[in-house]
Amino acid sequence: MAVIEGEAIVLRAVDYGESDLIAHLLLPDVGRMTVVAKHARKSQKRFPGSLDLFNHLRVRVSRKKLSGLGFLEQAALISPFIPLRENPVRYALASYLIELMDRMAPEDGARADTRRLFDFALSALGALTVEFPDPRLRLFFELRAFDALGLRPGLANCVRCGAEPRTGQVGFHVADGGIICEAHGTDGRAGIVTVHLGTLRALAKSLDSEIGQLGRLQLSTQAIEEAQEILFRFHRFHLGFELKSERFLEESLSGGRLTAATP
Ligand SMILES: [Zn+2]
């Protein structure tokens, strides 16, 4: 029997059987973990209001083996991130982030990766409770999540030869995970997205900014559209699915598309 004690974020919770819940948790040293919370829907004592989405918890989980399904023994609420539940755009962004984590986080992944991902998710949820809920944050969150998982796109130099791009536009090679110079971008344009250097600079800046500062980054409408295209293709290539909350987010924003925030 292995026991894990520490922090967790609730990524998902569904009813199971008569009185149990099955939850997906994000744990700093494990990654994503599926746990059964026995009698969670009957006993308010053991898990008092703690298994709601986004909740930051302190948990005790036991597992019969070193990997696989866990049993939630205890859960205490550290933070419910209340403001995320009170504003539709905040809620949509937090749902997007949490779904991203649920899909991307490895189960029993490398500890350095899972810890980076957990720290990112926690600080992003925290930032969302105080920052102006700017829909552009979704792009930055997605980029930062890839970065935390070691899938940082190459934005400054050609991924094949290291050359720095000089012209105003450059190709982003989705499968190679970064930009490619003219010399390497001539063999077939399939899988290549054309972007302006300004877009790449803005995205690079978002990778190096504090999470709480992301909402202050300037992005032109053109940069938003290009960044969306890169991330959409990058996401599809690496993960191969569309997030449910993506549509919900689009619908909760006026006009359906991400637009530049009005200052
Ligand atoms: Zn090159």
| Model pLDDT for residues 6-32, shown as the tens digit of each residue | 999 999 999 999 899 999 999 999 999
Q: 117 CA distance to ligand 1 centroid (A)?
A: 31
Q: In this structure, what token pair is assigned to residue 256? A: 């359906």
Q: 78 CA distance to ligand 1 centroid (A)?
A: 49
Q: CA–CA separation, 159 vs 176, rounded Å?
A: 7
> Where is the domain boundary, 80, 113, 148?
80
Is residue 221 located within the same domain as residue 251? yes
Q: What is the pTM of this model?
A: 0.84
| Model pLDDT for residues 133-188, shown as the tens digit of each residue | 787 888 898 899 889 888 899 999 999 999 998 878 899 998 888 999 888 875 55
User: Percentage of the chain with pLDDT > 90?
Assistant: 49
Is residue 137 located within the same domain as residue 206? yes
Residues with CB under 5 A from ligand 1 (ion): 158, 160-161, 163, 181, 184
**pLDDT band at 244, cuts 50/70/90?**
low
92 by DSSP, 3-state: which? Answer: helix
Is residue 56 located within the same domain as residue 157? no
Number of Cβ atoms within 10 Å of the Cβ of 43? 12
Is residue 191 located within the same domain as residue 143? yes
| Token pair 């690079």 in the structure block, residue | 204
CA 250 to chain centre: 16
**pLDDT band at 57, cuts 50/70/90?**
very high
Q: 167 CA distance to ligand 1 centroid (A)?
A: 13
Is residue 71 located within the same domain as residue 113? no
What's the confidence (pLDDT) of residue 189? 64
| Model pLDDT for residues 111-124, shown as the tens digit of each residue | 888 999 999 999 99
Residues 6+ apart with CB under 8 A from 169: 194, 195, 196, 197
Is residue 166 located within the same domain as residue 39? no
Q: 145 CA distance to ligand 1 centroid (A)?
A: 26
User: Percentage of the chain with pLDDT > 70?
Assistant: 89
| 46: pLDDT strictly greater than 90 | no
Domain count, the chain: 2
> Where is the domain boundary, 80, 107, 122?
80
Q: 43 CA distance to ligand 1 centroid (A)?
A: 61
Is residue 210 located within the same domain as residue 248? yes
- 7 DSSP β-pair partners: 58
| 38: pLDDT strictly greater than 80 | yes
Q: 202 CA distance to ligand 1 centroid (A)?
A: 21
What's the confidence (pLDDT) of residue 260? 41
| Model pLDDT for residues 182-238, shown as the tens digit of each residue | 888 755 567 788 899 999 999 999 999 888 888 888 888 899 899 988 888 888 887
Q: Which domain holds residue 222?
A: 83-263
Is residue 221 located within the same domain as residue 249? yes
Q: CA–CA separation, 103 vs 81, rounded Å?
A: 21
Q: 95 CA distance to ligand 1 centroid (A)?
A: 38
Is residue 57 located within the same domain as residue 97? no
- In order, the DSSP letters of 96-162 are HHHHHHHHHSPBT--HHHHHHHHHHHHHHHHHHHHS---TTHHHHHHHHHHHHTT---B-SS-TTT-
Q: 16 CA distance to ligand 1 centroid (A)?
A: 53
Intra-chain end-to-end CA distance of the chain, in Å: 55
> Where is the domain boundary, 32, 59, 80?
80
Q: 219 CA distance to ligand 1 centroid (A)?
A: 27
